[in-house]
Chain A
Amino acid sequence: MNAPESAALPHPGTATWVLLQWDDHRIALPSADVERIEQAGGLRAALPREAAAAWLADGDRPIPVYRLGEGLRPGSWSGTTGFVLIGQHENANWGLWGDGVRILAADEQPRGTTWPAVFARRRPPIEGIGLLVDGLPVMISRAALIGPWLAAHWARGGKP
């Protein structure tokens, strides 16, 4: 498949991206937005009343970890395989779980980025959809979108 050339990539100065994969979906963040990547083995199950699917122990400040579900809703998950991508917004860490993670080199940048309005109806924390070099679609985001979005989810009660 030929990659579309329709639009510039958000953050054109970004040299590398972190790609998180789960099920058949992918999301890419500028590598500068990712604080670190952890293996999911350190996750602990969420307390029954907590919104996050699991917690990653981080000293005295456990990090809530979410699995993105259908409709990109933060959902519940209690597995221990895969990886957790840790980001930060306003001094609060958050984690996104995936079963695979990869660093995209400069020549692997998503191409043909677009953002059709129909996908923006529910205001997901996405600012573009592009194609990877292998022709698979990837959603493009950044920590400044995901952090407030998760915080709003938490404020609403955090139910998946």
Chain B
Amino acid sequence: MNPVHAWRLEPGQVSIAIARNDLVEVLHDVNAMGLPIGPRWCREILAWRGRLIPLASATGSGAGNGAENDLAYAAVIALQPDPERDETEYVAIRIRTPPLAIEVGAGQDREPPADPVFPREYLLACFEDGEDPVAVIDLARLFAVNAGGPPQSID
């Protein structure tokens, strides 16, 4: 099996991976704005290229806890909630360092860590990069842009 090209992002204690083509832009000195609504991991919004897009943070920045000081970058990600429709949703995640290009091969699967940064119900898989666990998150569900609609049970 050919290796999969991905970006490794550092949103918190555990890295996450996204497909290489899904990363649109990396921002520094993020000028985000807080909101009193949304799940605890997404209470900020970002004006980006003529759009307002949700900005998630694994450490819950935007809640006045100062977490954004340690997460100076943001990765803007393109999501296609319905592959049969030519629609793209843009979302962003706060990260600590610029993304790292990685390749993921067969046999790297591993058990997820106890705290996979975002709620476990959004965890799709976990693999090992070096000695570090890297989580694969269902971002469409995390940001509720999937066709099935947003889950209502968690906050």
Q: In residues 91-134 of chain A, which contact B (Cβ within 8 Å)?
A: 112, 114, 116-124, 126, 129-131
User: Contact between A112 and B52 (Cβ–Cβ < 8 Å)?
Assistant: yes
How many residues belonging to B are interface residues under a CB distance threshold of 8 Å? 29
Q: In residues 29-56 of chain B, which contact A (Cβ within 8 Å)?
A: 31, 33-39, 42, 45, 47, 50-54, 56
A131 to chain B, nearest CB (A): 7
Residues of A within 8 Å of B151, CB to CB, are 121
Given contacts A121-B144, A121-B151, contact A4 B50 (CB under 8 A): yes
Chain B binding surface, main DSSP class: loop
Is A137 at the interface (CB under 8 A from chain B)? yes
Residue of A nearest to B153 (CB): A121
Which segment, of A8-16, A30-38, A64-72, faces chain B? A64-72
Number of A-B residue pairs at CB separation under 8 A: 94
Is A146 at the interface (CB under 8 A from chain B)? no
Q: How far is the CA of A29 from the CA of B20 in the complex (A)?
A: 42
Residue in B37, B47, B152, B154 whose CB lies within 8 Å of A119: B37
Given contacts A118-B42, A118-B143, A118-B144, contact A129 B35 (CB under 8 A): yes
Residues of B within 8 Å of A137, CB to CB, are 33, 35, 45, 52
Q: How far is the CA of A118 from the CA of B41 in the complex (A)?
A: 10
Residues of A within 8 Å of B36, CB to CB, are 23, 25, 68-72
A129 to chain B, nearest CB (A): 6
Residue of A nearest to B31 (CB): A1
Residue in B53, B150, B155 whose CB lies within 8 Å of A120: B150
A140 to chain B, nearest CB (A): 12
User: Contact between A136 and B33 (Cβ–Cβ < 8 Å)?
Assistant: yes
Q: How far is the CA of A121 from the CA of B143 in the complex (A)?
A: 10
User: Contact between B38 and A112 (Cβ–Cβ < 8 Å)?
Assistant: no
- 1/0 per residue, CB under 8 A from A, across B42-78: the answer is 1001010011111010000001000000000000000
Q: Which residue, B52, B142, B149, B154, has most C-beta atoms of chain A within 10 A?
A: B52
Is A135 at the interface (CB under 8 A from chain B)? yes
User: Contact between B150 and A131 (Cβ–Cβ < 8 Å)?
Assistant: no
Q: In residues 10-50 of chain A, which contact B (Cβ within 8 Å)?
A: 23-25
User: Contact between B155 and A121 (Cβ–Cβ < 8 Å)?
Assistant: yes
Residue of B nearest to A115 (CB): B52
Residues of A within 8 Å of B45, CB to CB, are 116, 129, 137
A124 to chain B, nearest CB (A): 5
Instruction: List 17 A–B pairs whose Cβ atoms lie within 8 Å, in order of A's numbering.
Output: A3-B47, A4-B47, A6-B50, A6-B52, A25-B35, A114-B51, A114-B53, A116-B45, A116-B53, A117-B143, A117-B144, A117-B149, A118-B42, A121-B155, A126-B37, A130-B52, A136-B33
